[in-house]
């Protein structure tokens, strides 16, 4: 019998290297810092680490702008450090997944610098075009994912180049077979080093089918219909599978904004990806209109999650990552029920069908950063771009825009990991500033304190991760949602006659269970409110969660 691949049984922990652990006191996290925390990760119970980019980069988009795919950013360490990380992790049965960012490079990548010359073999690695109206206007009306025009004029080249993200992130031209060859070299280089695979950045947008004008509104990535999940995109991924992944024990995880069920099915059925991140549930509490205040709608949120559970053969489940605000602040109650709601959300994330992803700090219940005084304090390139565009409309005050972009600010999740209550939360020994401020709540919320408390969020994560290994139904069992009334959500995970019931109260109020379950009994495998007996006559406590074996 073919062995189950690791990515099906393992849980993944995402590390944002800049903010995980600083080993040399410069205020920036690094690879030796990660190595020093491997025992913590082993003890937590995760078996795959996904590292956000550690490559050479000018850091305009914090590493998602790669200047050299085969070297390490000196601030983060050396290639020897990286080799050591791979080896030390392996000793602990932990595998490393790298970030593959190949929709675009940095404008400081040598390919791009060379490509400015028309006769260079690299010219066609990117989208260089003449602009309209005598080269004075962009070649089309597309706008960037980070708002503002998707084209920038380069004086040296005398042409415009395409960037669907920031202007320092020129898009690679995937019509050119050389680009695929280069990417295959990069993939092989890292797999040969012993890594376990890749999380592929915006991988459903890489193939621009045409450069015709887009239809959408300028504020919403106009032009996206020309490059979202096109046939050519599927073919590229299929070719990577045929050439490389069909012959290797490695995982391909796609980051796929706006993916739908149909394309998702193709990604999995045709081996283009092993799993992918959908983003529908992440949009539920956001407002892209400054005049409409954002509001979380748990019912909609759960409907979306159920939809993906029921329509996708294997999900990549997550509630946080480096682009999203902290989940307890968004979906729980950070003031009154910090611990309960943190554990309830953990129960949800780790009992769904698919591979669970935990983002650094989520396991100790880290929260959003209090709002910065002014936008100048933001490091996130996305926020600064939105700020300038919104300001251009001249109808909103600076204060108003700052409030609006705060809900989109990606810095919230990027503050340093809170290890203990010593200065800089044990993240760094710097006497100066850490690259982003440490959240002032670190004396209350930190890993050391929680490691000493059997009732902590951290302790609960450890139990959950262990349980997921022990109860096969949590991995291979089917997912069946049960019709319930908000705020109660219930679903089954079933396998070979085994039945686990998961019960969640998504509110700060007591709530009643579905009547059909009243009187039934089950063994409580895990409860976030200390429940040991489960009889379905009880009311659920605020943000209660339980896993029950029926
Ligand atoms: C998705 C990454 O997660 C995000 O951080 C980045 O800004 C964009 N892709 C562009 O690479």
pLDDT digits 0-9 by tens, 286-317: 877 767 777 899 999 999 999 999 999 999 99
Residue 294 confidence (pLDDT): 77
Angle at 369 between CA 366 and CA 370, to 5 degrees: 130
Residue 147 confidence (pLDDT): 86
Residue 142 clears pLDDT 80, i.e. is over it: yes
Atom of ligand 1 nearest to the CA of 64: 11
Whether the link from the prior residue into 487 is cis, omega within 30° of 0, is yes
Ranking 101-110, 214-223, 509-518 by mean pLDDT, the lowest is: 509-518
Contacts with 264 (C-beta within 8 Å, 6 or more apart), sequence order:
256, 276, 278, 311, 312
**Is 320 in contact with 365 (CB distance < 8 Å)?**
no
Of 330, 321, 322, the closest CA to residue 356 belongs to 321
Beta-ladder partners of 276: 254
And the tokens for 475? 């991995």
Question: In this structure, which residue's CA is closest to atom 2 in ligand 1?
Answer: 201
**SS3 state at 100:** strand
Mean pLDDT value of segment 190-219? 96
Contacts with 191 (C-beta within 8 Å, 6 or more apart), sequence order:
197, 244, 248, 250
Mutation choice for ligand 1 from 61, 378, 385, CB with most ligand atoms inside 8 A: 61
Atom of ligand 1 nearest to the CA of 382: 7
Q: CA-to-CA distance for 86 and 29, rounded, in angstroms?
A: 17
And the tokens for 234? 């599927």
Pairwise pLDDT comparison (127 vs 217), residue with the higher score: 127
Mean pLDDT value of segment 501-527? 86
Angle at 97 between CA 94 and CA 99, to 5 degrees: 155
Q: How far is CA 249 from CA 49, 196, 255, 265, in A?
A: 16, 7, 20, 22
Residue 536 confidence (pLDDT): 61
Mutation choice for ligand 1 from 53, 202, 411, CB with most ligand atoms inside 8 A: 202
Ranking 55-59, 327-331, 386-390 by mean pLDDT, the lowest is: 386-390
Residue 234 clears pLDDT 80, i.e. is over it: yes
Ranking 52-56, 196-200, 298-302, 510-514 by mean pLDDT, the lowest is: 510-514
Beta-ladder partners of 68: 56
And the tokens for 352? 């769904």
Residue 373 confidence (pLDDT): 64
Residue 1 confidence (pLDDT): 46
Q: How far is CA 502 from CA 127, 470, 471, 499, in A?
A: 50, 16, 13, 10
Give the confidence band of 98 by pLDDT, cuts at 50, 70, 90: very high
Mean pLDDT value of segment 228-251? 98
Residue 200 confidence (pLDDT): 98
Of 41, 46, 119, 36, the closest CA to residue 85 belongs to 36
Residue 186 clears pLDDT 60, i.e. is over it: yes
Provide the 8-state DSSP code for 123: G
Q: CA dihedral in degrees (478, 479, 483, 484; nearest 10)?
A: 130
Centroid of ligand 1 to alpha carbon of 64 (angstroms): 6
Centroid of ligand 1 to alpha carbon of 458 (angstroms): 28
Residue 374 confidence (pLDDT): 67
Mean pLDDT value of segment 527-546? 85
Of 57, 43, 62, 51, the closest CA to residue 12 belongs to 51
Rounded to two decimals, the pTM is 0.96
Q: CA dihedral in degrees (220, 223, 226, 227; nearest 10)?
A: -50
Strand blocks (E) in 73-189: 95-100, 128-129, 151-154, 159-162
Mutation choice for ligand 1 from 101, 102, 200, CB with most ligand atoms inside 8 A: 101
Per-residue pLDDT of 434-452, as tens digits, reads 999 999 999 999 999 999 9
Residue 533 clears pLDDT 90, i.e. is over it: no
**Is 479 in contact with 309 (CB distance < 8 Å)?**
yes
Mean pLDDT value of segment 52-67? 97
Q: CA-to-CA distance for 216 and 140, rounded, in angstroms?
A: 13
Beta-ladder partners of 151: 162
Q: What is the mean pLDDT of the chain?
A: 94
Q: In 275-380, which ranges are continuous DSSP H helix?
A: 298-311, 327-331, 338-351
Centroid of ligand 1 to alpha carbon of 384 (angstroms): 15
Per-residue pLDDT of 367-416, as tens digits, reads 998 876 666 777 887 778 777 777 777 777 877 777 777 878 889 999 99
Per this entry, what is the length of the chain? 550
Residues with CB under 6 A from ligand 1: 61, 64, 101, 165, 201-202, 255, 322-323
Residue whose pair of structure tokens reads 């290297």 in the numeric block:
17
Positions marked active-site: 201, 255
**SS3 state at 199:** strand
Give the confidence band of 512 by pLDDT, cuts at 50, 70, 90: confident
């Amino acid at each position: 019998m073919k062995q189950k691949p690791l990515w099906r049984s393992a849980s993944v922990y995402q590390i944002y290297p800049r903010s995980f652990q600083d080993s040399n006191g410069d205020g920036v996290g690094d690879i030796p810092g990660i190595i020093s925390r491997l025992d913590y990760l082993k003890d937590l119970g995760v078996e795959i680490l996904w590292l956000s980019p550690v490559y050479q980069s000018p850091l305009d988009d914090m590493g998602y702008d790669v200047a050299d795919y085969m070297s390490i950013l000196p601030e983060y360490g050396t290639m020897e450090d990286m080799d050591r990380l791979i080896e030390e992790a392996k000793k602990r049965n932990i595998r490393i997944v790298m970030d593959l960012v190949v929709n675009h490079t940095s404008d400081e990548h040598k390919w791009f610098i060379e490509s400015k010359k028309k006769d260079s073999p690299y010219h066609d690695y990117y989208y260089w075009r003449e602009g309209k109206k005598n080269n004075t206007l962009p070649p089309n009306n597309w706008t960037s994912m980070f708002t503002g025009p998707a084209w920038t004029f380069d004086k040296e080249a005398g042409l415009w180049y395409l960037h669907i993200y920031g202007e320092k992130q020129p898009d690679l031209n995937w019509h050119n077979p050389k680009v695929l060859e280069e990417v295959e070299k990069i993939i092989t280089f890292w797999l040969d080093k012993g890594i376990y695979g890749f999380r592929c950045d915006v991988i459903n947008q890489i193939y621009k089918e045409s450069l015709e004008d887009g239809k959408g509104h300028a504020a919403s990535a106009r032009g996206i219909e020309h490059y979202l999940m096109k046939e050519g995109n599927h073919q590229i991924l299929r070719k990577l599978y045929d050439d490389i992944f069909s012959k290797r024990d490695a995982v391909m995880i796609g980051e796929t904004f706006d993916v739908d069920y149909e394309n998702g099915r193709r990604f999995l059925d045709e081996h283009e990806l092993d799993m992918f991140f959908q983003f529908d549930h992440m949009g539920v509490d956001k407002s892209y209109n400054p005049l409409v205040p954002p509001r979380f709608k748990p019912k909609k949120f759960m409907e979306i999650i159920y939809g993906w559970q029921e329509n996708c053969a294997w999900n990549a489940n997550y509630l946080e990552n480096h682009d999203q605000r902290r989940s307890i602040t968004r979906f729980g109650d950070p003031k009154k029920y910090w611990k309960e709601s943190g554990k309830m959300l953990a129960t949800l994330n780790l009992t769904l069908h698919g591979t669970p992803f935990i983002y650094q700090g989520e396991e100790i219940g880290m929260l959003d950063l209090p709002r910065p005084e002014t936008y100048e304090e933001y490091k996130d390139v996305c926020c600064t771009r939105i700020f300038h565009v919104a300001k251009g409309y001249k109808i909103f005050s600076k204060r108003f825009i700052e409030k609006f972009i705060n809900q989109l600010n990606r810095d919230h999740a990027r503050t340093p990991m809170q290890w203990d209550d010593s200065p800089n939360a044990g993240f760094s020994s710097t006497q100066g500033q850490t690259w982003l401020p440490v959240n002032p709540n670190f004396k209350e919320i930190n890993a050391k304190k929680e490691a000493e408390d059997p009732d902590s969020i951290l302790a609960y994560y450890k139990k959950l991760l262990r349980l997921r290994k022990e109860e096969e139904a949590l991995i291979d069992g089917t997912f069946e949602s049960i019709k319930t009334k908000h705020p109660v959500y219930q679903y089954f995970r079933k396998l070979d006659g085994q039945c686990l019931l998961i019960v969640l109260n998504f509110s700060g109020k007591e709530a009643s269970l579905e009547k059909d379950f009243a009187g039934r009994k089950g063994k409580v495998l895990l409860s976030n409110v200390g429940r040991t007996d489960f009889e379905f006559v009880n009311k659920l406590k605020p943000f209660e969660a339980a896993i029950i074996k029926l």
